[in-house]
Amino acid sequence: MTGSRKLFVKSFGCQMNVYDSRRMADTLVPEGYTETATAEDADLIILNTCHIREKAAEKVYSELGRMRRLKQAAAEADRDVLIAVAGCVAQAEGDEIIRRAPAVDIVVGSQNYHRLPELIVRAGRDGPLVDTEFPVDDKFDRLAAPSAATIRARGVTAFVTVQEGCDKFCSFCVVPYTRGAETSRPVEKVTAEVERLAAAGVREITLIGQNVNAYHGAGPDGRPWSLARLLERLAELRGVERLRYTTSHPLDMADDLIAAHRDLPALMPQLHLPVQSGSDRILAAMNRRHTRTDYLDVVARLRAARPDLALTSDFIVGFPGETDADFADTLSLVSDVQYAGAFSFKYSSRPGTPGADMDEQVAEAVKSERLQRLQQAIDRSHAAFNRGCLGRTLSVLFERPGRHAGQIVGRSPYLQPVQVDASESLIGAIADVTVTEVASNSLFGALATRAGWGPTPPRTVFDGSSLPLQGRVRVRDAGA
Ligand code: SAH
Ligand code: SF4
Ligand code: F3S
């Protein structure tokens, strides 16, 4: 196909969606599409959606209302616009989406993105269609890879999906239904992708998966490799300076992975390890399959391996049956663990999950009050963690220009944003920075000036202006 049609992709939800959105764009560029940053001039609009909480799913429909008006305006100007809904709402709701939002042309489930070129042709010819089967072929084998120029334009950090799906079936969660059973990509495929990214100048790789530490991809020896082994292999690759992985389940925090936090210098001292609740009763009702003590034991072993590890978590308040005493256990866990930060959510009942049928749903006002108290506790813990960095010298990977002229922003090993007055030529470099000031959401610092010191130079010189503004967003749910 030729021509230059314009593609607008909007991603909601987690990093897996961000990654998938990019791979969809990579696959459509050779089909004659160029990416545009606004929906108004797009010929193809893809909303890559999230179903995790009710608000996230509802947001998609309000967005579709806006898209319908754009499509109408384009039709009046004799221009065809196709609207596709991808991701977890597509997977969960299928043709219901077309019933509710008839402007939608394509509903494509999370495992079928490699079929997009074909679906676009069919929808243009035959009208609206839905493709939400879980196919036997691996979408990652069939999606196109980005060019070196595209990789460079996306910045010096990158996500790589290594695992998809989830077999845990926590009783509140839709992911096992929207993403299917747990699968892992083979070691050699991941290695090839990381080599490509590193060769184009990416210096930090975050391995992602809904349950990433359950990784068990086939190794070159034909045996399943653990995440620790995969990390060890990637750390050997030229140009890979920093590694992270997310999101992990406490049950799969294996001994070799804990040891990797001690033994692999490239593995950053930061870990997102959601616990959801501090109450054993609620953990059991959530089907988390671990107790508070199990979790604290994993935390203690991780901190023995890597004492400065920055831990973050997710919490749900107001799960059915949660009492004041259960909630007090969650607050006390926050103070026991001393998190560097955490996300917290009000329980949202999801159709089809066991939680939705449980008695004793908690009143909205109680959830709101608990959420506020929990967030205050998390904020205190976050502020204390950041204060502990004051005066320390941390290595920072510079990612993009700062908000003010003459300023650049990078990430510390603990994933904190660090703002420094320095030249944009340092974007892509890793340099030591002494932290001089701590604000609520970022650190400020100055390049350290030690004798013999010099930043590790960028492997490629980046044109900072082309870097995405949100190089490494940790917000998991744009919708709620
Ligand atoms: N696989 C990851 C994250 C899954 S979704 C894990 O196991 O931790 C991200 C977060 O959304 C979850 O950790 C949980 O805190 C929250 N979440 C999931 N389902 C939810 C629901 N029904 N209501 C409120 N929060 C929810
Ligand atoms: Fe959802 Fe995570 Fe539980 Fe899987 S482990 S069901 S993704 S919360
Ligand atoms: Fe799906 Fe990620 Fe949301 S797996 S439900 S897009 S958090």
| The pLDDT value given to residue 454 | 60
Q: Ligand 2 atom 3: the closest Cα is on which residue? A: 170
Ligand 3 center from residue 403 Cα (angstroms): 30
Q: Which atom of ligand 1 is nearest to the CA of 274?
A: 8
Gap between the Cα atoms of 52 and 335, Å rounded: 27
Question: Per residue in 404-458, pLDDT tens?
Answer: 899 999 999 999 999 999 999 999 999 999 999 999 888 999 999 754 556 666 6
Same domain, 381 and 405: no
| The pLDDT value given to residue 441 | 85
Ligand 3 center from residue 30 Cα (angstroms): 27
Q: Is the pLDDT of residue 143 over 90?
A: no
Instruction: Out of 322-326, 378-382, 402-406, pick the least confident.
Output: 402-406
Same domain, 210 and 153: yes
Give the residue, out of 51, 52, 371, with the most ligand 1 atoms within 8 A of its beta carbon, to mutate for a pocket test. Answer: 52
Q: Is the pLDDT of residue 461 over 90?
A: no
In 3D, which of 424, 423, 422, 204 has the Cα closest to residue 434? 422
Single out the residue in 131, 163, 188 at which a domain terminates: 131
Dmax (CA) for the chain in angstroms is 69
Question: What is the per-residue DSSP string for 318-351?
Answer: --TT--HHHHHHHHHHHHHHT-SEEEEEE----T
| The pLDDT value given to residue 133 | 87
Single out the residue in 387, 417, 447 at which a domain terminates: 387
Same domain, 292 and 427: no
Other C-beta atoms closer than 10 Å to the C-beta of 460 total 17
Percent of the chain whose predicted confidence (pLDDT) is above 90: 86
Q: Ligand 1 atom 11: the closest Cα is on which residue? A: 52
Cβ of residue 210 lying under 6 Å from some atom of ligand 1? yes
Looking at all shown ligands, the one closest to residue 272's CA atom is 1
Confidence of residue 135 (pLDDT cuts 50, 70, 90): confident
For 98, the enclosing helix (H) or strand (E) is: helix 96-100
Gap between the Cα atoms of 448 and 19, Å rounded: 34
| The pLDDT value given to residue 480 | 32
Single out the residue in 98, 131, 164 at which a domain terminates: 131
Cβ of residue 272 lying under 6 Å from some atom of ligand 1? no
Q: At what angle do helices 292-305 and 324-337 cross, to 10 degrees?
A: 10
Gap between the Cα atoms of 388 and 382, Å rounded: 10
55 CB-side CA count, 13 A: 8
Same domain, 323 and 365: yes
Q: Do the domain assignments include residue 274?
A: yes
Same domain, 214 and 359: yes
Going by DSSP bridges, is the β-strand pair 5-11/430-438 parallel, antiparallel, or unpaired?
unpaired
Q: Do the domain assignments include residue 35?
A: yes
Confidence of residue 228 (pLDDT cuts 50, 70, 90): very high
Q: Is the pLDDT of residue 467 over 70?
A: no
132 CB-side CA count, 13 A: 23
| The pLDDT value given to residue 458 | 62
Gap between the Cα atoms of 415 and 303, Å rounded: 17
Ligand 2 center from residue 169 Cα (angstroms): 6
In 3D, which of 274, 262, 160, 264 has the Cα closest to residue 206? 160
Q: Is the pLDDT of residue 8 over 70?
A: yes
Instruction: Out of 2-16, 281-295, 431-445, 464-478, pick the least confident.
Output: 464-478
Same domain, 122 and 156: no
**For residue 223, what are the contacts with CB-CB under 8 A and spacing of at least 6?**
none
Same domain, 168 and 280: yes
Cβ of residue 249 lying under 6 Å from some atom of ligand 2? yes
Number of H helices, E strands in the chain: 15, 19
Same domain, 109 and 196: no
Question: Per residue in 362-378, pLDDT tens?
Answer: 999 999 999 999 999 99
Distances (CA, A) of 74 to 40, 138, 394: 9, 35, 51
Gap between the Cα atoms of 330 and 323, Å rounded: 11
In 3D, which of 258, 141, 134, 155 has the Cα closest to residue 197? 155
| The pLDDT value given to residue 1 | 44
| The pLDDT value given to residue 455 | 65
Residue 309 is given by DSSP the state P
Burial of 79 (0-12, 13-18, 19+ CB in 10 A): exposed
Q: Ligand 1 atom 14: the closest Cα is on which residue? A: 314
Within 131-202, where are the H helices?
139-142, 148-154, 175-178, 187-199
Mean pLDDT of 342-346: 97
Q: Do the domain assignments include residue 27?
A: yes
Same domain, 336 and 305: yes
Q: What are phi and psi of 279, to 5 degrees?
A: -105, 130
Q: Do the domain assignments include residue 136?
A: no
Mean pLDDT of 290-302: 98
| The pLDDT value given to residue 3 | 58
Cβ of residue 350 lying under 6 Å from some atom of ligand 1? yes
Ligand 3 center from residue 50 Cα (angstroms): 5
Q: Do the domain assignments include residue 190?
A: yes
Q: Do the domain assignments include residue 471?
A: no
Give the residue, out of 16, 174, 208, 210, with the most ligand 2 atoms within 8 A of its beta carbon, to mutate for a pocket test. Answer: 210
Ligand 1 center from residue 52 Cα (angstroms): 7
Q: Which atom of ligand 3 is nearest to the CA of 210?
A: 4
Cβ of residue 175 lying under 6 Å from some atom of ligand 2? yes
Gap between the Cα atoms of 475 and 436, Å rounded: 26
Ligand 2 center from residue 439 Cα (angstroms): 32
Same domain, 432 and 380: no
SS3 34: strand
Q: Which atom of ligand 3 is nearest to the CA of 476?
A: 7
Mean pLDDT of 214-238: 97
| The pLDDT value given to residue 45 | 97
Same domain, 125 and 149: no
Q: Do the domain assignments include residue 479?
A: no
Same domain, 123 and 249: no
In 3D, which of 164, 56, 44 has the Cα closest to residue 110? 164
Q: Ligand 3 atom 2: the closest Cα is on which residue? A: 14
Q: Is the pLDDT of residue 41 over 90?
A: yes
For residue 303, what are the domain limits? 142-387
| The pLDDT value given to residue 457 | 62
Q: CATH no. for residue 80?
A: 3.40.50.12160
Question: Per residue in 190-200, pLDDT tens?
Answer: 999 999 999 99
| The pLDDT value given to residue 213 | 98
Instruction: Out of 54-58, 222-226, 247-251, 465-469, pick the least confident.
Output: 465-469
Identity of residue 162:
V
Cβ of residue 347 lying under 6 Å from some atom of ligand 1? yes
Q: Do the domain assignments include residue 116?
A: yes
Q: How many domains does the chain have?
A: 3
Q: CATH no. for residue 417?
A: 2.40.50.140
| The pLDDT value given to residue 449 | 72
Q: CATH no. for residue 361?
A: 3.80.30.20
Q: pLDDT higher for 452 or 152?
A: 152
| The pLDDT value given to residue 139 | 80
Q: Is the pLDDT of residue 462 over 70?
A: no
Q: Which atom of ligand 2 is nearest to the CA of 179?
A: 7
Q: What is the mean pLDDT of the chain?
A: 91
Identity of residue 33:
Y
Give the residue, out of 9, 12, 14, 473, with the most ligand 3 atoms within 8 A of its beta carbon, to mutate for a pocket test. Answer: 14
Ligand 3 center from residue 422 Cα (angstroms): 37
Burial of 444 (0-12, 13-18, 19+ CB in 10 A): middle
For 232, the enclosing helix (H) or strand (E) is: helix 227-235
Give the residue, out of 91, 172, 173, with the most ligand 2 atoms within 8 A of its beta carbon, to mutate for a pocket test. Answer: 173
